[in-house]
Amino acid sequence: MVDRLVNSEANTRRIAMVENCFGTSGQPLSVPGRVLVGEGVLTKMCRKKPKPRQFFLFNDILVYGNIVLSKKKYNKQHVIPLEEVSLTSLEDSGHSRNGWLIKTPTKSFAVYAATATEKAEWMAHINKCVTDLLRKSGKKAADSHAAVWVPDSEATFCMHCKKVQFTVVNRRHHCRKCGNVVCGQCSNKKILLPRQSTKPVRVCLSCYDELSTSKLENEYVDFNTSENKEKYNMDSSADDDSDDDNDEVPHNQGKVETMTFYEGNDSIHAVGEGETTPSKSPDPTGVSA
Ligand SMILES: [Zn+2]
Ligand SMILES: [Zn+2]
């Protein structure tokens, strides 16, 4: 059980190590009761293309970042509270294999593991952490999630008007409500989606109409008056997924990275609280319960 690691020296050391690898680009991660459950490299589907990201699964948060130097230096840290996370397995198709969606109210994206086994391990560990957390807090799982963005490469034409072809001038934009890739004209309105951002976000015209005629997203604010538009009008490209940018840092490509879960393989299948631990495999940390 994860709880076994809570007060272990090895756990404290591992968390300090992760903190250290992010340096000043990350937030403090050492919090009483927090356990580093596992870590590894997953391929994250970003706006332009899939990119390797280092993921750290804690018992309460999922952290990922860009790899500057494998196992030594990471940056662009993202912290996702696990309470809000739900996973959906993706079918293999073409080169996209062993993937699943990580969905949260603010952001949703696809990740891919190197093998089917790794996928199964990751999903099981994440799901177990989420379930444990929700059980402890008595909270309910998040009921709505941000749309998964359609990758740029999958749209050569605007998915709304189906006329505008994307070029250097006619740039792609993502609707924050449905995730579709649309042209500037078809996404020239912004709306406040409080679950996603404190600022109004870009939506396509279909979603705009839908949102403004229904009360589904109970508190949205129309920010399309001219002064608000000016105030909030962000650069057309800079408003998109920032972790995509400036990260063409070489890392040891070709080398197969594997994940590490600190519980050993038996943990996730543990039968219950009072289980008789069959740990014939000694705890590699040297710390026992
Ligand atoms: Zn369009
Ligand atoms: Zn839309």
Q: Summarize the confidence of residues 35-42 as an average pLDDT.
A: 96
Q: What's the CA-to-centroid distance between 108 and ligand 2, angstroms?
A: 15
Instruction: Give the per-residue pLDDT at 257.
Output: 57
Q: What's the CA-to-centroid distance between 185 and ligand 2, angstroms?
A: 13
Q: Which residue range is the domain that position 77 belongs to?
A: 2-145+250-269
Q: What's the CA-to-centroid distance between 224 and ligand 1, angstroms?
A: 18
CA–CA gap between residue 227 and residue 11 (Å, rounded): 52
Instruction: State the residue for tokens 């705890």.
Output: 283
Please say whether the beta carbons of 2 and 125 come within 8 A.
no
Q: Which ligand is nearest to the CA of 175?
A: 2
Instruction: State the residue for tokens 């650069």.
Output: 235
CATH number of the domain within which 32 lies? 2.30.29.30
More confident residue, 249 or 67: 67
CATH number of the domain within which 221 lies? 3.30.40.10
Q: Which ligand is nearest to the CA of 180?
A: 2
| Residues 34 and 114 occupy one common structural domain | yes
Angle of CA points 60, 150, 108, to nearest 5° = 10
* pLDDT tens-digit series, residues 135-180: 999 999 888 899 999 999 999 999 999 999 999 999 999 999 999 9
Q: Which ligand is nearest to the CA of 159?
A: 1
* Backbone phi, psi, residue 149, to 5°: -70, 135
| Residues 59 and 12 occupy one common structural domain | yes
pLDDT at 278 over 70: no
Structural domain tally of the chain?
Answer: 2
Instruction: State the residue for tokens 């505008």.
Output: 164
| Residues 38 and 124 occupy one common structural domain | yes
Rounded to two decimals, the pTM is 0.77
Q: What's the CA-to-centroid distance between 167 and ligand 2, angstroms?
A: 20
* pLDDT tens-digit series, residues 215-273: 554 445 555 544 444 444 433 333 444 444 445 444 444 455 578 998 743 344 333 33
Please provide the average confidence, as pLDDT, over all residues in the chain.
82
Instruction: Give the per-residue pLDDT at 119.
Output: 97
Q: What's the CA-to-centroid distance between 133 and ligand 2, angstroms?
A: 32
pLDDT at 198 over 80: yes
Please say whether the beta carbons of 149 and 187 come within 8 A.
no
